[in-house]
């Protein structure tokens, strides 16, 4: 998939991942702390001032270009800001996607209280986000082919608990410009959510290669 984005070497990718990954983890920890804190009023105000100062520090130099790069060795786009897998996005679970030789892909991840809907359970919209992404990974051969979500049908079989989860997806068939994919989310007791999606090759890519 190529949108004229910049290419990044494997070495530079590892450097940036090592630099920004821990920052993102710190931001995740901050989100969790903010959700659960019961410190006194003065401490809250002190924390707010400290967060504002750190924000100003990070705002000293900002990128004015798209957040997506392409890995030189693999050809895969590196969407740092992606809300499902973005290394630099603190709201991403994140999901590390693994690809098998047969085209199946999967990820094991942990959803914390930041993704809570009903008490103790994952918000249904987050489940849909996870499934849309991993179905898209399968349909687009690891995001290397331009395929966009046309429709996605999600069936909630039971509540998805917060904590360790697994998502997986595979392609069922390809019919012209449409790729049909199926996937699910599961916990230790089995499947909680299923999804089917149709991913469409955009018109501008149909005559390429």
Interval 66-85: pLDDT, tens: 556 777 767 677 778 889 99
Give whole-number Cα distances, 148 to 41, 143, 173, 179, in Å: 47, 10, 16, 10
Mean pLDDT of 38-62: 97
What's the pLDDT score for residue 67?
59
Q: Which of 29-38, 123-132, 137-146, 154-163 has the lowest mean pLDDT?
A: 137-146
pLDDT higher than 80, residue 93: yes
Burial 154-172 (b: 16+ CB within 10 A, else e): beeeebbebeebebbbbbe
What's the pLDDT score for residue 5?
66
50, burial (CB in 10 Å: exposed 0-12, middle 13-18, buried 19+): exposed
What's the pLDDT score for residue 130?
98
What's the pLDDT score for residue 208?
57
């Amino acid at each position: 998939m190529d949108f004229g984005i910049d290419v990044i070497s494997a070495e530079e990718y590892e450097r940036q991942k090592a630099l920004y990954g821990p920052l993102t983890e710190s931001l995740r920890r901050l989100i969790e702390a903010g959700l659960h804190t019961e410190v006194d009023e003065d401490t809250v105000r002190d924390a707010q001032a400290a967060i504002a100062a750190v924000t100003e520090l990070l705002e000293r130099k900002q990128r004015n270009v798209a957040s997506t790069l392409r890995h030189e060795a693999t050809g895969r786009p590196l969407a740092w800001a992606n809300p499902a897998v973005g290394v630099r996005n603190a709201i991403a679970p994140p999901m590390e996607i693994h690809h098998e030789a047969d085209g199946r892909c999967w990820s094991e991840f942990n959803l914390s209280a930041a993704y809570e809907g009903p008490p103790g359970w994952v918000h249904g919209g987050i489940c849909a986000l996870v499934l849309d992404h991993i179905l898209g990974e399968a349909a687009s051969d690891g995001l290397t082919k331009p395929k966009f979500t046309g429709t996605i049908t999600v069936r909630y079989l039971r509540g998805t608990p917060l904590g360790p989860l697994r998502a997986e997806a595979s392609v069922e068939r390809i019919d012209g410009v449409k790729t049909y994919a199926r996937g699910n989310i599961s916990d230790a007791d089995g499947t909680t959510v299923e999804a089917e999606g149709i991913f469409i090759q955009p018109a501008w890519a149909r005559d390429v290669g």
